[in-house]
Amino acid sequence: MPIDPPPPGDRASLAQEKARLRGEALARRAGMGDAARAAASAAAAQRVPAILGPVSGAAVALFAPFRDEIDTAPLAALLWEAGATVALPVIVGRDTPLLFRRWRPGDLLEPVGAYRIPTPSPEAPECRPDTLIVPLAAFDRRGHRIGYGAGHYDRTLAHLRARGPVRAFGYAFACQEVSSVPAEPHDEPVDGMVTEADHLLFGG
């Protein structure tokens, strides 16, 4: 069901609430410590096959972890072993959907942009993913997520979903869960969520 646009005065309140929830969830994530994050990343990867099902021949987009995000390297290893094509996102422009390029075992990733996010080489082939593993700052159990404020994944999911079936699953630590994310019309929900503690499907 479409979400009605909030009145202009409410938009500022929603932005403030999202900023508060984002800050609190990221503080909890930072407080985990390196050893706990590594263990949780490995545990979360083991939960993904149950929610994805068979992936042989499918294209799955991951993300290269930034700062203290959940590490996707253990998941990439599982996907390659299962016969999936793995891709990583490339930021094309501020208001442009993400592009995805194939990432093969052994491929070197190049730090790109102001945040030096590891990115496939421009020579890596482009790839349209069947499934996206989506980063986030905070999430709830209705399928809503809070990103980092740039809107890259909302634009990307809207673009891909307008052109055919695609699945999207949030991927984060359990400590990033919040009771309720305030949703706006432009927010694209995820179809499921995977953490080290649980895996959830939304929307039936």
Residues placed in the known binding site for substrate = 69
Residue 169: partners with Cβ closer than 8 Å, 6 or more residues away: 48, 51, 52, 131, 132, 133, 134, 190, 191, 192, 193, 194
Residue 92 in tokens: 């094309």
Residues marked as binding for ATP?
18-22, 145-153
What's the per-residue H, E or C state across 120-151?
A: CCCCCCECCCCEEEECCCEECCCCCEECCCCC
Residue 47 in tokens: 């939960």
Asked if 55 and 82 count as a contact pair (C-beta separation under 8 A), the reply is: yes
CA distances for 145 relative to 46, 82, 106, 177, angstroms: 22, 28, 32, 9
Asked if 63 and 88 count as a contact pair (C-beta separation under 8 A), the reply is: yes
Residues marked as binding?
18-22, 69, 145-153
Assign 152 to helix, strand or coil.
helix
Residue 4 in tokens: 């009605």
